[in-house]
Amino acid sequence: MTVEAPARAAVGPVASTWRRFVFALAWAGPGLIAANAGNDAGGIIVYASAGAEFGYRTLFFMVLVTVALVVVQEMCARLGVYTGKGLAALIREEFSLRMATFALVCLVVANVGLVVSEFAGIGAALELFGVSRYVSVPISALLIWALVLFGSYRYAERVFLVLSVVFFAYPLAAILAHPHWGTIASQTFLPHFVWSSRFLLLGVALIGTTITPYMQLYVAAAVADKGLSVDDYRYERLDTVGGAIFANIISAFIIIATAAAIGGKGPLATAAQAAKALEPVAGHIGLLGASALAGAVVPLSTAYAVSEAIGVERSVSRRFSEAPLFLGLFTVQVVIGAAVALATSNLVQLLLITQVLNGIITPVILTFILVLANRRSLLGDAANGPVFRVVATVSVASVGLLSVIVLSESVWSVLRAI
């Protein structure tokens, strides 16, 4: 699919800016969806907890993680456009089968845990509206399943983009909380660290919850599913880079809103607590929209990855008879996620295991991405240039190191509990 450049017309600066904005929105898709899915129920807990416990001091971490997220997501989108394949297919072809299988197994288990947390987030959000989770979770699961099973990729993408609109509630919530904007600016661009292990671990958690493997797998696979060509890359790069920046700005507003409302009162334990802390504007609807979006994107990323690794048909636009493994995997994950979310009210242990698995797989997946994007034999002139290669290597190494720290702390917590 090739997009021709629009004809130029003599228009004023305001009209020209508006036209570029509308054109960019028309091209929004995999990049924006993948990044926004990262602001899911678990992410909201971490961001809100950061604001509640340390005020605006953790905003500096969000500047660092935005750079890393932009670099990583852009490489994934570039790989998807220039090869027409998702990450799992590329890993299978370019690396050993054993390494690819190990990464894939960790991803599947971790993503199932995340799907459970997303449906728990949907249930928690609608319980704040007085709707029982025994009603809301099955209905939401059915709607998400039907959207993917009976819709096309284009239709599903439009629904995902509509769900992304709810994130605008968080900047509004931050403004209504009347924060101190001078302090925010200072602590965003200059480090104001608290020298404690808790602050360090929370900063690491902010990075870990923002850059997760399912986002990278989804954006590359969705770009390929959408059928974008090399000629479309500049538009997809705008979507991916803009989506990453937008999603992290929203994350920062979650921190700001919570810090202004209840800063200094300590960490939050559940998505419902985070939602209540962000009332009245963003709490209910933000948690619902974020969880619903991730509730579709996470199982799709798993289905894409497994189907790519095996080499079978995978596309949201296919019927069940045409892509039985892809759509079957998606269905199974939705059923398990909804059932487990209904069966237990305490998901702390499950989320801990998920965090450990993500801590294992994140450095592995990011290393695969970096090596693939550096290979001129795969991407030709589109491979990472010298400067971008240095920036990408530093970003991947930093996120990998922080993931190892989170993994070590998580394992130590498990050992202490035994």
pLDDT at 141: 94
Token pair listed for 124 = 């928690």
Question: What is the 8-class DSSP label of residue 316?
Answer: T
Distance between CA atoms of 247 and 23, rounded to whole angstroms?
19
pLDDT at 11: 47
Res 266 pLDDT > 70: no
Helical axes 213-226 vs 59-83, angle rounded to 10°? 40
Checking 123-127 for CB contacts under 8 A at 24+ apart, the result is 123/341, 123/342, 124/41, 124/270, 124/271, 124/272, 124/275, 124/287, 125/271, 125/272, 125/275, 125/284, 125/285, 125/287, 125/288, 125/291, 126/288, 127/272
Give the pLDDT mean for 182-205. Answer: 82
pLDDT at 2: 42
The CATH code belonging to domain 24-375+383-417 is 1.20.1740.10
Least confident of 30-39, 241-250, 306-315, 353-362: 353-362
Q: Can you tell me whether residue 346 is helix, strand or coil? A: coil
Distance between CA atoms of 76 and 87, rounded to whole angstroms?
8
Where do the structural domains in the chain lie, given as residue ranges?
A: 24-375+383-417
Q: Where are the alpha helices (DSSP H) in 165-270?
A: 169-176, 181-189, 197-210, 213-226, 233-262
Residue 3 pLDDT level (bands cut at 50, 70, 90): very low
Q: How far lies 275's CA from each of 34, 121, 177, 271, 294, in Å?
A: 22, 10, 14, 6, 16
Between 22 and 334, the more confident residue is: 334
Token pair listed for 109 = 């288990």
Global pTM value? 0.81
Give the pLDDT mean for 36-63. Answer: 84
- pLDDT, the chain, mean: 81
Res 16 pLDDT > 80: no
Res 336 pLDDT > 90: yes
Tell me how crowded residue 387 is: count the other CB atoms within 10 A of its CB. Answer: 8
Q: Is the separation of the CB atoms in 378 and 94 below 8 Å?
A: yes
Least confident of 27-36, 56-65, 117-126: 27-36
Distance between CA atoms of 109 and 336, rounded to whole angstroms?
12
Q: Is the separation of the CB atoms in 271 and 91 below 8 Å?
A: no
Between 352 and 152, the more confident residue is: 152
DSSP sequence for 124-161: HHHHTTT--HHHHHHHHHHHHHHHHHHS-HHHHHHHHH
Res 148 pLDDT > 70: yes
